[in-house]
Structure 1
Amino acid sequence: MRIVTASIFVDDQEKALDFYTRVLGFEKRQDQPAGGARWLTVGNPGEEGGVELLLEPSSHPAVAPFKEALAGDGIPFNSFAVDDVAKEYERMLALGVEFTQPPANMGPVTTAVFSDTCGNLLQIASMSQD
C-alpha cells in the first residue's frame, strides 16, 4: 500500500492551480473533467509518479465549517517541507503571500503559516539547523 493522492479543499480550482504552481512551485499533473468540477492535481517538480495533491472543490456542506474552524483556530491544513523557512518566507512575501505566523523556531523545526488564498492555512517547515 502507498499514498498516491492527498486532497485539499479549495474554494476555486483555477485560483488554487495558479497559487500552487506559480507561488508554491508545484507542477500540474492531472486536469480532467469530473462532473461539474475537475480532477485537478499538482505534484513535486520533476517527481513523476510521486504523491499528487488533489485541489478538490469545497462544495460539500461539511467542508465550509471544517475549513472555517481550522482557519479560525490558526491550524494549518497541510505542511510542506522546505530547506530554509526564512528564505522561503522572504520569497513568498515578495510574491504577496499573507502569513499568519512568521518563521518561528519550534525546537527541532522552524515553521511559518500562510494563507493559500483558497480558504486554507498551510505551513512550511524545515528541520532546525544547530
Structure 2
Amino acid sequence: MKIKLTSVYVDNQDNALRFYTDVLGFAVKADFSNGPFRWLTVTSPDEPDGTELQLALNDNPAAKAYQQAIFKQGQPALMLFTDDVKSDYERIKGRGGSFAMAPTEVTGSTIAQLNDSCGNLIQITQLARW
C-alpha cells in the first residue's frame, strides 16, 4: 500500500495553480472540469509519477473552516521535504514567494514556512544529517 494522492484546500484554484507551478515549480498532473467541479493535481517534477497533490477548492463550509483555523493557528497545511532548504528558500523568494519564516534550525531539521497565497502555510523541511 502507498499514498498516491493527498489534498490541500485552496480558496482559488487558478491562483493555486499559478503558485504551485510558477513559484514552487511543480508540474500539472491533471486539470479537468465537470460542470462546476474542477479536478486539479500537481506533482513534483522530480517524481512525475509520484504522489499527487490535489488543489481542492474550499467551497465546502467544513473545509473552509478547517483551512482558516489551521492558518490562524500558524500550522502548515502541507509539509514538503528538500535536501537544500536555503537554496529552495532563495529560489522561491526570487519567484515571488512570501515567507512567514526564513530557514530556521530546529531540533533535527531546518525549516522555512511560506504563504501559498491561497489560504495555507507550507513548511519546507530539510532533515539534519547525523
Would you call these one fold, judging by a TM-score over 0.5?
A: yes
Give the Cα–Cα distance (whole angstroms) in 2 for the partners of residues 14 and 65 of structure 1.
21
Structure 2 portions without partners, runs of 5+: none
| Equivalent position SS for 2:22 | helix
TM superposition score normalised by structure 2? 0.92
Give the Cα–Cα distance (whole angstroms) in 2 for the partners of residues 48 and 93 of structure 1.
24
Q: Counterpart in 2 of 1:53?
A: 53
* Amino acid aligned to 1:114: L
| Equivalent position SS for 1:62 | helix
Give the Cα–Cα distance (whole angstroms) in 2 for the partners of residues 128 and 34 of structure 1.
44
| Equivalent position SS for 1:9 | strand
Give the Cα–Cα distance (whole angstroms) in 2 for the partners of residues 69 and 24 of structure 1.
24
Q: Identity of aligned pairs, percent?
A: 39
Give the Cα–Cα distance (whole angstroms) in 1 for the partners of residues 30 and 37 of structure 2.
13
State the aligned residue count: 130
Q: Counterpart in 2 of 1:23?
A: 23
Cα drift, residue 46 of structure 1: 4.8
Q: Counterpart in 2 of 1:99?
A: 99
TM superposition score normalised by structure 1? 0.92
Cα drift, residue 19 of structure 1: 0.7
1:84–1:126 Cα contact (<8 Å) kept: yes
Give the Cα–Cα distance (whole angstroms) in 2 for the partners of residues 126 and 102 of structure 1.
13
Q: Identify the range of structure 1 (111-120 vs 100-109) with the bigger mean alpha-carbon deviation.
A: 100-109
Give the Cα–Cα distance (whole angstroms) in 2 for the partners of residues 126 and 46 of structure 1.
16
Give the Cα–Cα distance (whole angstroms) in 2 for the partners of residues 51 and 7 of structure 1.
10
What are the within-5 Å matches in structure 2 for residues 26-41 of structure 1? 26-41=26-41
* Residues 1:118 and 2:118 aligned together: yes
Give the Cα–Cα distance (whole angstroms) in 1 for the partners of residues 81 and 113 of structure 2.
12
Deviations 1:56-94 (A, max 9, x none): 011000122211211111110111111211121122222
Q: Counterpart in 2 of 1:88?
A: 88
